Structure 1
């Protein structure tokens, strides 16, 4: 990953997973970031690459995926503006366990681990907030695996739709419209299912007036139905998100 100009210090962007940081700590984090354009389709890193950087999504959208044995990619995260992502590893030789692909063009901030370690040593309050961010990312991963393992494909799809409503939902006359246009194949990649399986489940949901499609966007009409299928635990929105 090639670094370019340093990002100027500022308080903008305190949303997404970066909300764990106070404005002062976030300004410190921005002081060691390097700005990098992100073009659609670009691969920021592959599984097995050295994990010597964190990335902060300033604009655009980045997909974090895992490659299955059959070569298929399973989507674990959809990073948006304000999201910080990295893989802390105490082994001293960390490598990426996932792939990162740019879905929408934008800009990312690159943070070198060596620079970050200096901040952690210098500022105890920043170190505590960084641990909170690590805990948030760990819980995000835990809840997604819980959905996949405990409630089957239908439960995982219901949970996914709830997460999309929290991350990209806007009020609509018919319910909550998911502003992100997403195909059935992409939904399938997010829950480890086939496109045909997702087609069948969404068809059932449409017949039961749980969801509808409007101008290519999914509209969730009955969130309570979805919560019942996946036995929703009413996690806060910073956890129940993509």
Structure 2
């Protein structure tokens, strides 16, 4: 049975489109933004590297940032694509930690930066903000866990099907034919996001097209059979604020 766009479109707006406003009240977002100083950053720059001291949180005011992880064999895996409204950074209040990923700016961006010491003071002063911050951190950790699960447990076909579902939740637009992903992404970019070769992605996409699960037109993916993709990746029906890129 084919799944129409309406099966996922209503929930898609929860976090993928709203960023941190899905987790923080307007008053607490205002408190966070009051701590930020804004930097303009050019594309192809790095905000931090894996292993750097985690002393800041980063808020994307405009542009896009991808978080990547290098494997032992030197290949790069893209785990997150952050856009305007998202906040990221491996900061742990009241203790020292290090960043777990590289943060590469892929479009000219304005980035709001929050220092750890300023955040800690604000959390001490406002218990409601501290609770919302813990909830946000929990969701971010769960997102990371589910992405590693996809990469490790269900092979490249499962990882790619999961990625397509996540792209649909993040950028999908409802249509009569299914869920059209309103963001062109190359096969090479998809390969980097699941730790595969471009040739492997080409082959899996061809299999998915033959099965009728998707169509690809000029780089734009249309999800026609969501259930099929979910079966391949053993979908656990995670909330849409977790099942996103």
Common fold by TM > 0.5: yes
Larger RCO (CA under 8 A, 6+ residues apart): 2
Change (3 A) 1:197 1:73: same
Please list, as runs of the form range in 1=range in 2, the aligned pairs for 1:55-204 lying within 5 A after superposition.
55-89=58-92, 92-204=95-207
Tell me how far apart the structure 2 counterparts of residues 155 and 120 of structure 1 sit (CA, whole Å): 40
Shift of 1:226: 0.3
Contact 1:188 1:195 in 2 (8 A): yes
Contact 1:61 1:102 in 2 (8 A): yes
Shift of 1:140: 0.5
Provide the secondary structure at the position in 1 that maps to 2:44: coil
Size of the alignment, in residue pairs?
Answer: 229
Structure 1 stretches lacking a partner, 5+ long:
1-13
* Match of residue 213, structure 2, among 202, 210, 214: 210
Structure 2 stretches lacking a partner, 5+ long:
1-16
Moved more, 123-132 or 175-184: 175-184
Alignment match, 1:229: 232
Provide the secondary structure at the position in 1 that maps to 2:27: helix
Tell me how far apart the structure 1 counterparts of residues 219 and 142 of structure 2 sit (CA, whole Å): 32
Shift of 1:216: 2.0
Q: Residue by residue, what CA displacement relative to the aligned partner does 1:139-187 show, whole Å, maximum 9, x if unpaired?
A: 1011111212221111111111000000011123432111121111111
Provide the secondary structure at the position in 2 that maps to 1:63: strand
Contact 1:60 1:104 in 2 (8 A): yes
Shift of 1:106: 2.5
Contact 2:53 2:99 in 1 (8 A): yes
Alignment match, 1:38: 41
Q: Residue by residue, what CA displacement relative to the aligned partner does 1:54-94 show, whole Å, maximum 9, x if unpaired?
A: 10111111100001122211111111111110113478442
The CA RMSD over aligned residues, in Å, is 1.6
Contact 1:17 1:238 in 2 (8 A): no
Tell me how far apart the structure 2 counterparts of residues 34 and 90 of structure 1 sit (CA, whole Å): 19
Tell me how far apart the structure 2 counterparts of residues 170 and 35 of structure 1 sit (CA, whole Å): 32
Q: Residue by residue, what CA displacement relative to the aligned partner does 1:8-58 show, whole Å, maximum 9, x if unpaired?
A: xxxxxx922442111111110010011111321111111122221110111
Contact 2:69 2:79 in 1 (8 A): yes
* Match of residue 27, structure 1, among 30, 45, 68: 30
